[in-house]
Amino acid sequence: MRCVHSAVLAAFVVLGFATTLQAAEDSVASEDALSVSVIVLSKVAIPVERDVEAQLISPNDTPVSPELAAKVLEIAADVGDEVQEGDVLARLDCRDYDVKVRQAKAGVATVKARITATAARVGAAESRAGAAVSRVNASVSRVNAAASRVKAATAGVQAATARMQATGTGINTAKSQVNTAKAQANAARARIPSAQAQFKLAQAELNRNRQLRNNKLVPANILDQAQATFGSAQSSLTAAQADFSAAQAAVSTANEAINAAKANLQAGKADVESSRANVETVKAELGSAKADLGSSKADLTTAKADIEGAEADLLTVETELENALAQQEAAEVVTERCLVKAPFDGQITQRQFQLGQISSPGMAAFQLLQNQGLEVVAQLSPDEVRDQEQGEKVRFVSNGIELDINRRAVVAQVASGSGTQEVRYRVNDDHKLPVGKTGRVRWQGKLPAIPSNWLLRREGGLGLMLAVDGKAEFYPLKNAREGQSALIDLPENTLLIDANRLRVRNGQNIKQSGE
């Protein structure tokens, strides 16, 4: 029984403790929920004119140095002088370099004279080559003409020989005709005595028969037969005599033909000899023409070799001229360096050169400041850069002077220490502000800004205390600056803690007053 009472008692004790613990926790939670008031961001944010520190800088602030080691003879500019690009600032003693320029020019003139002489050699060789080509062409024409004449003369010899051979054949033919005519004459002569005898016999028989007929001793037909025989004998005699005369005429004609053919044969032989002599003469001319052709070709080869040699010499001398011109140019460049000149328009701000001192390459002689085309440089946070991109007008303000500027470039690098980017601006207005003058770059911001009195410092930085789901939440503004309005990129309906924002802690439960 005592055990049961003890257990019941213990249960009541535990239950009482749990009730007490829950009550304590509710009391603590009620105490941690800080009562605050809130306000919508759009009622607090204001458009502000932004400005940052800036400075007027020069594109160039250059130490002007000599490029030679020489004595300073003259100083033509001093501190404060305004100079133009190319103005002489100082003169160095360059007599040694002037001598080198004259030597280089003399070398160029010598090489040019050699080029002229070599070019004349090339021209003369080309003229000789042209003349040799003309002689070669003339010799070729002579050779061709002589060859044609040799061919014609050879053909003439062949024709004369053929004519002589034909004449010889005609003589043989005429001789054969003479022999034939003589044989015919002999045959005709041999017929004449027989014909004469028959004629005389027939004549005697005719006379006898006429007497007999007159005496009526023979019939008429016997007389007629004797007359016929007489006529036949007379015809045979006449024919034999005619054949003999014709044969003799043929012999005479054939002999005349033989004599004429012999004369033609002699003329043909003379023609052959003349043609052969002409062939030899023309062959001699052909040999002479070929010799002239060989000589002309040799002259042409020599002229071409002279041209090649002269052209090779010309190339060599032209290369020497290039080298001589390069040496002259190098010497003139050195003498140009005897004048220390301004590399751009500007003002002399320092002079290190002294009369009579020996300069050395690279030593500072003058400090030249470019006082035209000045720029403004400023350091902006990335938010300010973005805000300025939406701005309508940017100005540089210094001691009451306001200049219109426009952004030229933004360096795409955020400095690790300051968290800013370098921005360069062109100056659009004429001004007389000196290089290095400080001022501020101003523009009308387009991004909303929060007044500086709303900024709180928590966890080592500035920011805002927001009301989010019944708790306070610190929202850091990395680019915020003490005492200045800060750009924000929060929605317009964001709730800011107003009352008790200085007391509330990050993550603390809150309740809005009136809840």
Q: Looking at residue 38, which CATH number applies to its domain?
A: 2.40.420
66 & 192 share domain: no
In a domain, 53, yes or no: no
Please, are residues 401 and 418 in contact by the beta-carbon 8 Å criterion? Answer: no
What are the C-alpha distances in Å from 23 to residues 9, 129, 234, 344, 470?
21, 130, 208, 85, 21
**pLDDT confidence of residue 415:** 93
Which one-letter amino acid corresponds to residue 91? R
Q: How far apart are CA 324 and CA 456, in angstroms?
A: 79
Enumerate helices (H) and strands (E) in the chain, giving the number of each.
Answer: 5, 22
The closest alpha carbon to 65, from 340, 312, 435, belongs to: 340
Which one-letter amino acid corresponds to residue 485? S
Last residue of a domain, one of 316, 334, 352: 334
The closest alpha carbon to 16, from 26, 28, 24, 4, belongs to: 24
123 & 83 share domain: no
117 & 165 share domain: yes
Last residue of a domain, one of 349, 368, 387: 368
In a domain, 419, yes or no: no
Last residue of a domain, one of 334, 358, 376: 334
DSSP secondary structure letter of residue 62? E
89 & 197 share domain: no
**pLDDT confidence of residue 376:** 97
Q: 260: domain CATH number?
A: 1.10.287.620
182 & 265 share domain: yes
Q: What is the chain's pLDDT, residue by residue, as a tens digit (515 residues)?
A: 333 344 433 444 333 444 443 444 444 444 568 999 999 998 988 877 888 999 999 999 999 999 989 999 999 999 999 999 999 999 999 888 778 888 888 988 998 898 898 889 889 888 988 998 998 899 889 889 888 888 888 888 888 888 878 887 878 887 888 888 888 888 888 888 988 888 889 889 888 888 888 888 888 888 888 889 989 888 988 988 888 888 888 888 878 888 887 888 788 788 888 888 888 888 898 899 889 889 888 988 998 898 988 888 888 988 988 898 898 788 788 888 889 999 999 999 999 999 999 999 999 999 999 989 999 999 999 988 988 876 678 999 999 999 999 999 999 999 998 899 999 999 999 999 999 999 999 998 777 888 989 999 988 889 999 999 999 999 998 878 888 888 888 888 999 999 888 899 999 999 987 55
Which one-letter amino acid corresponds to residue 169? T
286 & 208 share domain: yes
Report the number of distinct structural domains present in the chain: 3
In a domain, 377, yes or no: no
Where residue 444 falls (left for φ over 0; alpha for ψ -120 to 50; beta otherwise) is beta
154 & 88 share domain: no
In a domain, 155, yes or no: yes
In a domain, 441, yes or no: no
Instruction: Provide the token pair at 236.
Output: 């045979």
320 & 174 share domain: yes
35 & 68 share domain: no
**pLDDT confidence of residue 160:** 80
In a domain, 352, yes or no: yes
**pLDDT confidence of residue 58:** 94
156 & 287 share domain: yes
- On the CB side of 61, how many CA atoms lie within 13 Å of its CA? 10
217 & 343 share domain: no
Question: How many whole angstroms from its chain centre is CA 479?
Answer: 59
pTM: 0.48
Q: How far apart are CA 234 and CA 352, in angstroms?
A: 165
In a domain, 22, yes or no: no
By residue range, what is the domain housing residue 39?
Answer: 31-46+448-515
197 & 125 share domain: yes
In a domain, 57, yes or no: no
The closest alpha carbon to 89, from 99, 75, 69, belongs to: 75
Q: 342: domain CATH number?
A: 2.40.50.100
**pLDDT confidence of residue 19:** 42
Q: How far apart are CA 302 and CA 129, in angstroms?
A: 8
